[in-house]
């Protein structure tokens, strides 16, 4: 029988070449330019992982896929709570 650790796993953010917040803003702008509601589209993407929720306009789909969904969610929560990184 394998011993499964009961400890909480800790995720740490790796520095990326591009800031997550900047990418989210760029993706929101591209969604708005195409007439989509950024909140609805981002929520759909974050819940499902389906990249077709994000327009390819302005290379938004490629930009957002540079990050893991948990990184995007983390950034949104930090921004919502007003915390500093």
Whether residue 9 is contained in a domain is answered as no
Domain that holds residue 57: 20-81
Whether residue 3 is contained in a domain is answered as no
Q: How confident is the model at residue 11 (pLDDT cuts 50, 70, 90)?
A: low
Q: Which long-range contacts (CB under 8 A, 24 or more apart) does 64-70 make?
A: 64/23, 64/24, 64/27, 66/16, 66/18, 66/23, 67/16, 67/20, 67/23, 69/45, 70/11
Whether residue 13 is contained in a domain is answered as no
| Percent residues over pLDDT 70 in the chain | 79
Whether residue 63 is contained in a domain is answered as yes
Total domain count for the chain? 1
**pTM score above 0.85:** no
Whether residue 6 is contained in a domain is answered as no
Whether residue 1 is contained in a domain is answered as no
What digits encode the pLDDT tens for the residues 43-70?
999 999 999 999 999 999 999 999 999 9
Q: How confident is the model at residue 4 (pLDDT cuts 50, 70, 90)?
A: low
With a cut of 90, say whether residue 3 has pLDDT above it: no
């Amino acid at each position: 029988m394998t011993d499964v650790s009961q400890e909480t796993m800790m995720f740490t953010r790796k520095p990326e070449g591009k800031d997550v917040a900047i990418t989210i803003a760029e993706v929101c702008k591209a969604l708005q330019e195409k007439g989509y509601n950024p909140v609805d589209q981002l929520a759909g993407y974050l819940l499902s992982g389906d990249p077709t929720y994000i327009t390819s306009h302005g290379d938004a789909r490629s930009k957002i896929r540079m990050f893991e969904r948990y990184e995007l969610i983390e950034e949104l929560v930090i921004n919502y709570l007003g915390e500093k990184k």
